[in-house]
Amino acid sequence: MSLIKCKIYQIDAFTKDVFGGNPACVIELREWLPESVLLSIAKENGVPETAFFINQGEYYHIRWFTPDIEMDLCGHATLATAHVIFNHLGYRYHTIRFRSASGELAVKRDNNLMVLDFPSRDPKPAHLPVELAESLNIQPQEVFKARDYVLVYLNQNEVEAFAPNRALFDRVNINPGGVIVTAPGEYVDFVSRFFTPQATILEDPVTGSAHCSLIPFWGKRLGKTQLHALQLSERGGELYCEDMGSRVLIKGSAATYLVGEIGIPV
């Protein structure tokens, strides 16, 4: 058995400083390894998401893995990957283009921020599944769904107090989605939290992909295209958002926590 040695970066996304935002590991590959190997690496890393990417010349091919499954889209790990490419790999251009399971994505420099250009996922009114309703300590005012369920609450206090019964919550299967809880913010346009049933990590610290649904929802409700958001996890995250119709823009910063090397057995 031989080892493939790869550089690994651990980046805190949607924060200016380490120990905040959402951690992601980022690994550049020369060619794709078996999915089982990528998942094993993500499990070993133990952070909410690990992003793997390959430089294809005009664009980068990117994939995202939680410790449990491959995801179709991940905002914070894409932001982390762009941070690595811009700041550690000598990328000199203004825009990075990615290809992914969710189509083409782009990340642009904007002074000290980076701007994610992602597809909009406008949520539609939905019924709350019985299993999900039974797991909630506070019932929502409204329910919507795109990839994720969007549970709309009266105010920020209810979002802060949200605490699902884990045993009941894990009976719900939304693979590969999750549950967004959201409300108007006290000092920002809206706040949110994100939970994934049956996942190793129950609450995601900052979820860029959830804002693909939150931005069009709150944009229409508030009559605004420019939105300021907070995710109210323990680590917390701040996002500057723009509704562009079929696309959404999500601005954030990132900080490097760790640079190292791993050996992958092949």
Contact (Cβ atoms closer than 8 angstroms) between residue 192 and residue 181: yes
How far apart CA 164 and CA 199 sit, in angstroms, is 14
3-state secondary structure of 35: helix
Q: Strands 70-71, 60-65: parallel, antiparallel or unpaired by DSSP? A: antiparallel
DSSP string, 124-186: EE-PPPHHHHHH-SS--SEEEESSSEEEE-SSHHHHHH----HHHHTT---TT--EEEEEE-S
Which two three-digit tokens encode residue 175?
A: 């693979």
3-state secondary structure of 53: strand
**Nearest one of 141, 131, 70 to 102, comparing CA atoms:** 70
How far apart CA 86 and CA 164 sit, in angstroms, is 39
Whether 49 is catalytic: yes
**Residue of 28, 49, 203, 238 with catalytic role:** 49
Which two three-digit tokens encode residue 218?
A: 């709150």
Catalytic residues: 49
